[in-house]
Amino acid sequence: MFRILSLMLCLSSPVLADVEGTVRVVDGDTLDVSGQRVRLHGIDAPETEQTCEDAQGRVWPCGAFVREEVARRYQGQRATCREVEQDRYGRSVAKCFVDGRDIGEALVSDGWARAYREYSMDYDLAEKTAQVLGLGLWASSMQEPSAYRADQRVPTPDTAAPDANCIIKGNISGSGRIYHMPHNRDYANTRINEASGERWFCSEAEARAAGWRAARN
């Protein structure tokens, strides 16, 4: 009986897997490692579109800067990622190491990411040290990334669908005609300007038939 219960528990739990390979940086706390999307465990970096305010009150693009800093350090490097869990979308959440150094710990220690205490206390001390020393983003004023994301989800006239059954966003950009589903990374930040030809769709089939292609993220 004990063996049967153990087997059932194993089958009902997600199988954690490690991944190793070349890094492509997606944003300040998300990597592609050998083509697999990995969210760094226990840290939260500013969103790419997020801004900060320096000691002189000047606004600067801290989110884009952090992404570039992470890319400068790790793009093209070989990483080993040890999966801690999977998020609700089935994506890997892992601790990743380059040359034996924990990427998440390095970013928090240098002040370029926050310890994500809602999910882990692993980097609590590293963050407190960076804050005391005024390193990285601690030299500026920054809204917590989680609070920033929550603010972006508040509907505005150009982000709220006019029809509750037609919530797919058909956006036109330099990349062409792309439609965004609610689970896509840039959905919340995508604005629809119908005067320029952008539109809402009720289904993916409708979007594809009109000449739009699916967002990749």
Give the separation between CA 55 and CA 28, rounded to whole angstroms.
22
Is 39 in the active site?
yes
Q: Which two tokens stand for residue 32?
A: 């592609």
Among residues 47, 105, 127, 198, the one annotated as catalytic is 47
Is 117 in the active site?
no
Among residues 39, 67, 114, 199, the one annotated as catalytic is 39
Residue 48 three-state SS? coil
Is 47 in the active site?
yes
Among residues 91, 149, 177, 185, the one annotated as catalytic is 91
**Are 187 and 181 within 8 A, CB to CB?**
yes
Give the separation between CA 113 and CA 138, rounded to whole angstroms.
10
What lies within 8 Å, CB to CB, of 159 at 6+ separation is 188, 190, 191, 192
**Are 82 and 94 within 8 A, CB to CB?**
yes
For residue 111, count other CB atoms closer than 10 A to its CB: 21
Backbone angles phi, psi at 149, to 5 degrees: -65, -40
Catalytic residue set? 39, 47, 91
